[in-house]
Amino acid sequence: MDRHGDGTRARSRPALILLVVVAAGGCLALGWWQWERFESSTGSGQNLGYALQWPLFAAFVVFAYRRFVQLEDAPEEPEPNPTAEPTEIPADLLPQRPTVTPAETLGTDAESRSLQEYNRYLAELGREDRSSS
């Protein structure tokens, strides 16, 4: 069944069509119910707002189904050619990583000595902890 004339086949979607009809009908029924509530003696502007919103929801359901069908019937994109050569990334495309020298990591001599003392202290605490367990 070539509905489109371009070789694509129209798919039968009875479950989705039924879902769209039920959802849109439900939205329209809720809109009608809100309109009746608005016209009653206890109705308010909020009911009027809902009465105007529900038909928009019904229209969206129909629009979403129509868009789904269009996307599903669209021709598939061609798959990439596996025999094609890989594309090289230019060497200067990415920023260069900064290099860190050991002197920068330790800071001044005083900082270096205090760091070494602290590390010795932690090692001593670790030995004491292992010996007490």
What are the residue ranges spanned by the domains of the chain?
A: 14-73, 105-132
In degrees, to the nearest 5, what angle opens at C-alpha 62 toward C-alphas 16 and 22?
Answer: 55
Token pair 């798959």 is found at 79
Q: Nearest-CA neighbor of 24 among 68, 77, 60?
A: 60
Convert the pLDDT of each residue in 79-116 to its tens digit. Answer: 777 677 767 878 888 888 888 766 555 556 777 788 88
pTM: 0.50
Cβ(20)–Cβ(61) below 8 Å:
yes
Model pLDDT for residues 106-130, shown as the tens digit of each residue: 556 777 788 888 999 999 999 998 8
> How far apart are the C-alpha atoms of 46 and 35, rounded to whole Å?
10
Using the structure block, give the residue that is written with the tokens 């039924």: 18
